């Protein structure tokens, strides 16, 4: 992240300088997404899923998500362009970029039927993005760090600053709950696949196309996220334990064995990293 404005400037100028950055638009996008999820939850618990406010909140949430990830992708592309570097692996390398994947899924959800569960992974990420930006940019802008004079310090010593209790509390929260929250995101993304599968089984309109797209997304997340891998391993272990009981019919064991074999075959044949590395190696060889 870019550093906050200089504390020597007046507050109004500091706020104006902060608001003019692309990063601030990214922050506002995440904040808007959280507000929309909060607003949609009221419609959800009162069973007004398709009211005007519910639809507006749902769609705006994914517009905000697309904007935030679009900004990240744009900044990364601009940074590579300035450095004069060229992307390795072409379209496959682009597809393997996590931010591109979430940008694509935000657009998919924006134009798909409502799946409220789809908002929650974006919401969890936004909580930590908002918290981090608040700690590193917003708080220092509103309350510039105050330099403290250390007793006996030499004139050329590095200046020290008084800690900010709010910033320290936010930093502690992020550090303490980040791993657990990423595990929660992985669980939500897996549950969402099951929810779409149910829609496909009953032939809900567009569900088969949606499950194909989301399966590709979840496969990419599995390749990149140790949290997703860990949740799949836990799920497999639990089903193994259930199916392994003596009371389980042999047919159930055979079906589960076939599902596991098919899943492993799918994993091996859709290893994007293998093809990206192969393409890069072939380009270097030529």
Alpha helices in 114-164 (DSSP H): 119-133, 139-142
Task: Give the confidence band of 155 by pLDDT, cuts at 50, 70, 90.
Answer: low
Task: Kindly compute the dihedral angle of the four CA atoms of residues 153, 157, 161, 163, in this order, to the nearest 10 degrees.
Answer: -80
Tens digits of residue pLDDT in 74-125 = 988 887 777 665 555 556 667 778 999 999 999 999 999 999 999 999 999 9
Task: Give the confidence band of 1 by pLDDT, cuts at 50, 70, 90.
Answer: low
In angstroms, rounded to a whole number, what is the distance separating the alpha carbons of residues 60 and 119?
Answer: 11
Q: Write out the DSSP string of 225-256.
A: -HHHHHHHHHHHHHHHHHHTSTTS-HHHHHHH
Report the predicted TM-score, pTM, of the whole model to 2 decimal places. Answer: 0.85
Residue among 169, 266, 280 nearest 215 (CA): 266
The stretch 232-257 carries a mean pLDDT of 85
pLDDT reported for residue 65: 97
pLDDT reported for residue 7: 65
In angstroms, rounded to a whole number, what is the distance separating the alpha carbons of residues 36 and 48?
Answer: 15
Tens digits of residue pLDDT in 2-52 = 677 776 778 888 889 889 999 999 999 999 999 999 999 999 898 888 899
Tens digits of residue pLDDT in 170-224 = 999 999 999 999 999 999 999 999 999 999 999 888 899 999 999 999 999 998 8
Residues 37/65, Cβ–Cβ less than 8 Å? no
In angstroms, rounded to a whole number, what is the distance separating the alpha carbons of residues 286 and 274?
Answer: 18
pLDDT reported for residue 272: 56
For residue 36, the SS3 value is helix
For residue 101, the SS3 value is helix
In angstroms, rounded to a whole number, what is the distance separating the alpha carbons of residues 221 and 26?
Answer: 23
The stretch 262-267 carries a mean pLDDT of 85
Q: Look up tokens 């990830």; give the residue.
A: 69
Detail the DSSP E strand segments found in the chain: 147-148, 160-161
Q: Where are the domains of the chain?
A: 11-145+166-217
Task: Please check the confidence at residue 54 and state whether its pLDDT lies above 80.
Answer: yes
pLDDT reported for residue 99: 93
For residue 145, the SS3 value is coil
């Amino acid at each position: 992240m870019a550093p906050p404005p200089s504390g020597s400037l007046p507050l109004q100028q500091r706020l104006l300088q902060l608001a003019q950055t692309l990063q601030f638009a990214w922050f506002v996008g995440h904040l808007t997404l959280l507000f929309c999820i909060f607003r949609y939850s009221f419609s959800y618990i009162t069973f007004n899923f398709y009211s005007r406010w519910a639809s507006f909140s749902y769609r705006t949430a994914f517009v905000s998500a697309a904007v935030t990830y679009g900004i990240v992708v744009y900044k990364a592309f601009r940074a590579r362009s300035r450095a004069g570097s060229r992307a390795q692996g072409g379209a496959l390398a682009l597809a393997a970029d996590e931010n591109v994947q979430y940008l694509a899924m935000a657009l998919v959800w924006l134009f798909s039927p409502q799946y409220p569960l789809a908002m929650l992974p974006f919401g969890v990420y936004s909580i930590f993005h908002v918290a981090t930006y608040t700690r590193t940019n917003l708080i220092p802008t509103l309350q510039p760090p105050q330099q403290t004079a250390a007793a006996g310090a030499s004139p050329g010593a590095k200046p020290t600053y008084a800690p900010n209790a709010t910033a320290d509390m936010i930093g502690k929260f992020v550090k303490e709950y980040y791993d657990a929250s990423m595990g929660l995101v992985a669980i939500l993304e897996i549950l969402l696949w099951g929810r779409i599968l149910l829609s496909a089984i009953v032939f809900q309109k567009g569900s088969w196309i949606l499950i194909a797209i989301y399966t590709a997304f979840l496969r990419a997340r599995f390749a990149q996220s140790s949290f997703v891998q860990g949740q799949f391993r836990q799920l497999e272990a639990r089903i193994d334990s259930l199916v392994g009981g003596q009371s389980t019919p042999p047919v159930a064991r055979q079906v589960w064995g076939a599902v596991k074999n098919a899943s492993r075959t799918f994993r091996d044949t859709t290893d994007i990293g293998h093809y990206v590395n192969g393409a890069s190696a072939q380009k270097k060889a030529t």
